[in-house]
Amino acid sequence: MSQAIVGIIMGSQSDLRIMKEAAEVLDDLKVAYDLTIVSAHRTPLRMVDYAQHAKAKGLKVIIAGAGGAAHLPGMVASITTLPVIGVPVKSSNSIDGWDSVLSILQMPSGVPVATVALDGARNAGILAAQIIATSDSALFSRLESFKQSLQNKVEEAASQLESKGWRQSLH
């Protein structure tokens, strides 16, 4: 396994069902990552330690997911200069998900967190890969193939729909 360049962290084990989607897409794109639990509220000193040492251990991007009062991405971004992608998770302590979206999204000027959609861990993984691909041409090519596959799927579905008609396409 090569050196991790993306760090995936989450506030609780209960976030893994969502956050695993970032890991899965990074596996597909052959981007090395490490993944662990770091809680802003329950292990604040572990969070500080993680953020302070992230660059030195070789990470280039951090993906941080949390639910409810989701302070992890913003607090990590306040400590490190690495880009941080925040994933709002709809969790057991969420009111409706907006609480975690707004906790991560509404950062003060000077401390950005690139916030993806509610439970949008897959997009966080893709965005992390895109950031790294700006200086990795092989990864850039893999991402171009990935984008092409998205286009192909829609075009195949459209031509099937057009040839079979919408009633048949429901089955």
Q: DSSP string covering 51-85, please? A: HHHTTTTT-SEEEEEEESS--HHHHHHHH--S-EE
Q: Which is nearer to ligand RP5, 59 or 100 (CB)?
A: 100
Q: Which stretch binds ligand RP5 (CB under 6 A): 66-74, 109-117, 125-133, 146-154?
A: 66-74
Give yes or no for residue 103 binding ligand RP5 (CB under 6 A): no
- Of 51, 91, 115, 133, the residue at the interface with ligand RP5 (CB under 6 A) is 91
Q: Which is nearer to ligand RP5, 60 or 71 (CB)?
A: 71
132's tokens: 């790294």
Q: Does 92 help bind ligand RP5 (rule: CB under 6 A)?
A: yes
Which are the contacts of 88, defined by CB distance < 8 A and separation ≥ 6?
65, 66, 67, 70, 97, 100, 101, 103, 104, 105, 115, 116, 117, 118, 119, 120
Q: Does 66 bind ligand RP5 (CB under 6 A)?
A: yes
Number of chain residues interacting with ligand RP5 (CB under 6 A)? 14
C-alpha 23: how far from its chain's center?
8
> Could you list the residues that contact ligand RP5 (CB under 6 A)?
10-12, 14-15, 39, 41, 66-68, 89, 91-93
